[in-house]
A and B are shown apart, each in its own frame.
Chain A
């Protein structure tokens, strides 16, 4: 394919992905809303005639073992797989067009990060049922893609000399996986807060409402903890790899450049999270809030520092 065709194909694949993911979002939303209803109940009436009268026995039974919304959740999951496939195609074509890794500017980083979010989620979904989480993953992924194609879009260009290093592959790919995993952890933590609220309101009774079909708050918290326990070393690695690269490119491994500062802040906040998980009085809701704050500092670094603060890391291309 010629470069122009590659460009066209990449952009088409990304738009197709957004379309499919939007559909997935609708189905996730439908399943989510349907989950609020009580399972379908039907009654059958049997009339038993006997001497001296007619007894009517009404038997109530659940005739639909399929919980409402399950079907649309399954459709949504399939659509998410499809949308992720299109996105993967779009990202790969973009890389072919540019002739290098597809994260040389903010547009490319964003589409790859959206892919990262979805891949981490789908990877998670292989072993366990996380359909209830889908909408909270598809929405951030779609927002990232929307921002990428509207505000951040840039034509593929050669890398600026500062980015010509194999560290671009190592350092940035680690950061991309972390962006996906942090998003997942923040979504799960937010749900843990919601679910905890519902559990306290239900006061021991069955939880109803939006969070009815989610795992218990305890389990959500454990899940978030596991994701962060996996991501924190990876983030540490990304920061160390960045420091090695900085030493080779700028002559110092740490210089409190705004990007470095915010990476450090994210690191410190998630370190606090891990400590909070083993501190009495902090392991519950407070830890969930810390996870959300940690993710916010990651976002502040990505959008704030790239676009608004003058940093050595200003490669946004916008």
Chain B
């Protein structure tokens, strides 16, 4: 059989491929591929959200790390294969939806097909009583008033109505699929024009929204770091409370940052409180409170007795009880000095970790180093790590309490713990596509509900004369969705046209 078919032309081949590609089967396979391709991103650390862990994973596994990295397993959602799947899915979707939209447009403009000859074969079928010729007019008026599409005709000596309703099902289906494309556009707008940055601010310190003030900043291709909204804020106070009950001991109960902010340098200052779930919205950007910690205050004198450091140092929490680490680098001191700092909000003597996240018994561990901290090499350095390549340790102190001073060995100077401040870390984000994406998502959900809950159904009414000369009025219906039922519609129509007397 197949050898008798004429060979396909190039255009024919293209059409065949396109038809296969836009078929439901292809969509199904692409959906499965999308689901499977998403999984690795939840198993392997992702560079975008967790760069540190990603690096650890790669260095920790010298064989597989680089291979998986090259295959994109640490940037799954921007990898070529993941992008390929969803782009193909969307092309297939467009290829499927557009012709259907055209067909639906035509269907809505066309009256329903003529009533079938034998209504008794339909899903629901009833003979109306009393048989009344005018029933057809009343039904016609009623159906049209209730937004049925109605076709009236005559054949084989019978007068019939053919009515259809529920076109919103397909409309909703099309809206849903088109709205998915809109969501993608919203995401793309955010990705191209949006940006986000992180900054740590100590109590009493301020922040102004310029690139240099950020600890980390990243933006889309068209985000201009020179044109950030010119707002400023100062963190006036930071409050944190931890759970002291036995259950969930030490978990945070509350943390909030009191700030005063200005939308631009000329605006009047306003005050507000930033909490988790309550970001500050200013000038199109949103300021989120994402973390907090301690910044112990030290005074350092070098061998000459001169104060070379009088400041707070940010320490980063390492565990749930806020055992926090940081460093002090003093390349200009004499001798050059460096300190490893561990801050315990609640020191447990004999232990190297804090016992509780609140500052019940604050203390610091210190290790002092002399030598060149390597700040002049030109290689960027972390402010939280001491490069000890050219340094030697001169001494350690397991616990220095506030008000205490540690005299360094070899007459290198001294260090005193004055007290501590709190710091809060903020994420500042700007996403110009999010409102668009939200509207698209709501549109998608609305379309989805229409497409699943609206029933497309047809009813027919027929007035004919049987061989004995008696008038017979029949009503029948068909629900085009599977497992559907039209009996409710039949009942309503029946009641409307024969159930009560028309005045």
A residues with CB within 8 A of B: 154-158, 160-162, 164-165, 167, 222, 225-226, 229-230, 232-233, 236-237, 240, 243-245, 247-258, 261-262, 264-265, 268-269, 271-272, 275-279, 282, 297, 305, 309, 317
B277 to A161, Cβ gap below 8 A?
Answer: yes
Task: Decide: B277 and A233 in contact? CB cutoff 8 A.
Answer: no
* Bound CA span A229–B32, Å: 19
Instruction: Report if B418 contacts A (CB, 8 A).
Output: no
Q: Which residues of B contact A155 (CB under 8 A)?
A: 245-248
Task: Scan B22-63; emit 1 where CB is below 8 A from any A CB, else 0.
Answer: 001101100110110011011100101100000000000000
Contact A161 B247 (CB under 8 A): no
- Chain A residue numbers with a CB within 8 Å of B196 are 251-252
Which residues from B are CB-within-8-Å of A248? Answer: 277, 279
Chief secondary structure at chain A's binding surface? helix
- Given A248-B277, A261-B38 in contact, is the A279-B445 Cβ separation under 8 Å? no
**Which residues from chain A contact B25 at a C-beta distance below 8 Å?**
279, 282
Interface presence of B187 (CB below 8 A): yes
Q: Is B290 an interface residue (CB 8 A)?
A: yes
**B residues lining the A interface (CB < 8 Å):** 24-25, 27-28, 31-32, 34-35, 38-39, 41-43, 46, 48-49, 76-77, 187, 196, 243, 245-248, 251-255, 275-277, 279, 286, 288, 290, 427-429, 431, 434, 437-438, 441-442, 444-445, 448-449, 452-453, 482-483
9 closest Cβ contacts across the A-B interface?
A: A155-B247, A258-B42, A222-B483, A251-B429, A272-B31, A157-B248, A261-B42, A161-B276, A251-B288
- Do A164 and B276 touch across chains, with their CB atoms under 8 A apart? yes
Residues of A contacting B77 with CB < 8 Å? Answer: 256
Check A255 against B31 for contact (C-beta < 8 Å).
no
A-B contact pairs, 11 of them (CB 8 A): A156-B247, A157-B251, A158-B253, A162-B276, A240-B441, A248-B277, A248-B279, A251-B428, A252-B429, A272-B35, A317-B248
> Distance (Å) between the CB of A295 and the closest chain B CB?
14
Q: How far is the CA of A213 from the CA of B49 in the complex (A)?
A: 53
Contact partners of B243 in chain A: CB under 8 A: 157-158
Verify A161–B482 contact, CB threshold 8 A. no
Shortest Cβ distance from residue B106 to the other chain A in the assembled complex, whole angstroms: 20
Q: Tell me if A226 and B483 are in contact (CB < 8 A).
A: yes
Closest Cβ of chain B: how far from A38's Cβ, in Å?
A: 31
- The reply to whether A249 and B277 contact each other, CB–CB distance below 8 Å, is yes
Query: What distance in Å separates the Cβ of B318 from its nearest Cβ neighbour in chain A?
Result: 15
B434 near A233: Cβ-Cβ < 8 Å = no
Q: Which residue of A lies closest to B50 (CB)?
A: A310
A-B contact count (CB 8 A): 131
Instruction: Collect the chain A residues with CB atoms within 8 Å of residue B42's CB.
Output: 256, 258, 261-262, 305, 309
Tell me how far the C-beta of B488 lies from the nearest C-beta in chain A, rounded to whole angstroms.
14
A157 and B444: CB pair below 8 A? no
- CA–CA, A272 and B453, complex, Å: 18
Q: State the Cβ distance, A215 to closest chain B Cβ, in Å.
A: 12
By a CB distance below 8 angstroms, the chain B residues around A269 are 31-32, 35
Q: Report the bound CA distance from A167 to B429 in whole Å.
A: 21
Q: How far is the CA of A240 from the CA of B196 in the complex (A)?
A: 22
- Taken together as a complex, chains A and B put the C-alpha atoms of A15 and B448 apart, in Å, by 40
B-chain residues with CB within 8 Å of residue A257 when the two chains form the complex: 49
In the bound complex, do residue A222 and residue B482 qualify as a contact, i.e. CB atoms below 8 Å apart? Answer: yes
Q: When chains A and B are docked, how far (Å) is the Cα of A162 from the Cα of B255?
A: 10
Q: Are A247 and B434 in contact (CB under 8 A)?
A: yes
In the complex, the chain A residue whose C-beta lies closest to that of B433 is A253
Kindly identify which residue among A222, A236, A275 contacts B28, using a CB–CB cutoff of 8 Å: A275
Choose from B41, B275, B427 the contact partner of A161 (Cβ within 8 Å).
B275
Residues of A within 8 A of B277 (CB): 161-162, 164-165, 167, 245, 248-249
Partner of A253, one of B41, B437, B453, B483: B437
Q: A236-B445, A251-B288 are in contact. Are A256 and B46 (CB under 8 A)?
A: yes
- Give the complex CA separation of A269 and B30 in angstroms: 11
Closest to B43 in A: A309
Closest chain A CB from B11 CB (angstroms): 26
Report B-chain residues with C-beta under 8 Å of the C-beta of A158.
243, 248, 253
The residues of A that contact B49 with a CB separation of less than 8 Å are: 255-257
Complex: how many Å from CA A156 to CA B34?
39
- Using CB atoms, name the residue of chain B closest to A155: B247
Q: In the complex the two chains form, is B452's CB within 8 Å of A232's CB?
A: yes
Whole-angstrom CA separation of A57 from B430 in the bound complex? 92
**Once the chains are docked, how many angstroms separate the CA of A255 from the CA of B142?**
52
A318 to B453 CA separation, bound complex (whole angstroms):
40
Question: Which residue among B49, B276, B288, B429 has the maximum number of chain A CB atoms within 10 Å of its CB?
Answer: B276
Q: Which residues of A contact B434 (CB under 8 A)?
A: 247, 253
Set of chain A residues within 8 Å of B28, measured between Cβ atoms: 272, 275-276, 279, 282
Point out the residues of chain B lying under 8 angstroms from A268, CB to CB. Answer: 31, 34-35, 38
Distance in Å: Cβ of A239 to nearest Cβ of chain B: 9
Contact with A244, one of B39, B438, B449, B483 (Cβ below 8 angstroms): B438
A252 surroundings in chain B (CB, below 8 A): 196, 429, 431
Evaluate contact between B38 and A251: CB separation under 8 angstroms: no
Assuming A240-B445, A279-B25, A309-B43, is B427 touching A251 (CB within 8 A)? Answer: yes
Task: Report how far A218 CA is from B256 CA in the complex, Å.
Answer: 57
- A154's partner among B247, B429, B438 (CB-CB below 8 A) is B247
Q: Please report the C-alpha to C-alpha distance between residue A167 and residue B278 in the assembled complex, in whole angstroms.
A: 12
Measured CB to CB, the nearest residue on chain A to B180 is A271
B335 to chain A, nearest CB (A): 42
Residue from A161, A237, A248, A268 with most neighbouring chain B CB atoms (10 Å)? A161
Would A265 and B251 count as touching, CB distance under 8 A?
A: no
A254 (CB) vs chain B CBs: closest residue = B187
Name the residue on B nearest A247 (C-beta). Answer: B434
In whole Å, how far is B126's beta carbon from the nearest beta carbon of chain A? 23
Considering the complex, give the chain B residue whose CB is closest to the CB of A276.
B28
Q: How far is the CA of A214 from the CA of B438 in the complex (A)?
A: 44
Partner of A249, one of B32, B41, B245, B276: B276
Chain B residues with CB under 8 Å of A297's CB are 35
Tell whether, in the assembled complex, residue B444 and residue A236 are in contact, meaning their CB atoms are under 8 Å apart.
Answer: yes
A282 to B32, CA, bound (A): 13
Of the candidates A154, A165, A243, A282, the one whose C-beta lies within 8 Å of that of B441 is: A243
Chain A: which residue is nearest B429 at the CB level?
A: A251
**Best-surrounded residue of A155, A250, A278, A297 (most CB of chain B within 10 A):** A250
Question: Is B24 touching A278 in the complex (CB atoms < 8 A)?
Answer: yes
Chain A residue with minimal CB distance to B33? A268
- Contact indicator B452/A229 (Cβ below 8 Å): yes
A282→B24 CA distance, assembly (Å): 10
Measured between C-beta atoms, what is the minimum distance from A241 to chain B in Å? 10
Question: Whose C-beta in chain B lies nearest to the C-beta of A167?
Answer: B277
- Chain A CB within 10 Å, residue with most, of B31, B34, B46: B31
Q: Which residues of B contact A309 (CB under 8 A)?
A: 42-43
